[in-house]
Amino acid sequence: MRAPFASVWFDCDSTLSAIEGVDELLAFAPKELRADIAALTTKAMEGTLPLADVYETRLRLLAPRRDQLDRIGELYVARLVPDARALVEALQHLGKHVGIVSGGLLVPVQAVARHLGVPDANVHAVPVLFDVAGHYVDFDRRSPLWKNQGKVEVLRALPADRRPLAFVGDGVTDLETQGTAELFVGFGGVVARPRVRDGAQVFVATPSLAPVLQHVTTADEQARLASLARFAPLLSAARG
């Protein structure tokens, strides 16, 4: 029997939420830049370009204001993947730490975390620096999350009581956590990336996050959830 996971960590974009925050920021960019920035994002997510080569260029071109990032946070919440909130509630009910590790920008990722009830201490994303008027200055280059292997670095720095841990994500930088996390669950419910699908220990292709529950909980834990009516819809969705 699999030992219970002490914590479960999620990517944000195309995992907890059905959007990519950078793609949504394109609405604020000049039209002539949109195709180029979108192409950079695709290459980073598919692993054909190093993330660091893409990250700095995208943010320099987009130069997002604070109010724009607040708007992206609202969109993240409005476009949550089905059963995301119920899954987080179930894992927390079982006493597991739940967190988010994202290469996205901290302000909108925190909006998702607040909506899901994930504590700030368990939210890792890239901070953005603004001037007093809320205009973009730079991003915090001390964060490891704007580079490949950044999520691995964050997971390795977690306290010992977070292990064993599982990580759930859709992209190549999520796949990098496999081997550092005791279990990596690839999620293809929004975008099924072939490299992730082929490389993941476990791959979930349904539009809902509910089936993840079966991979990150034991039979005994699922029985505990089954004893509570409020988790019945989640369990039903998890079993298909």
Residues taking part in catalysis: 11, 13
Hey, what amino acid is at 121? Answer: A
The length of the chain is 240
Reduced to 3 states (helix: H, G, I; strand: E, B; else coil), residue 6 is: coil
Beta pairing, strands 136-139 & 128-130: antiparallel
Which residue from 13, 14, 183 is spatially nearest to 102, judged by alpha carbons?
A: 13
Count the neighbouring beta carbons within 10 Å of the beta carbon of residue 26.
19
Q: Which two tokens stand for residue 143?
A: 């964060």
Q: Which two tokens stand for residue 129?
A: 């620096």
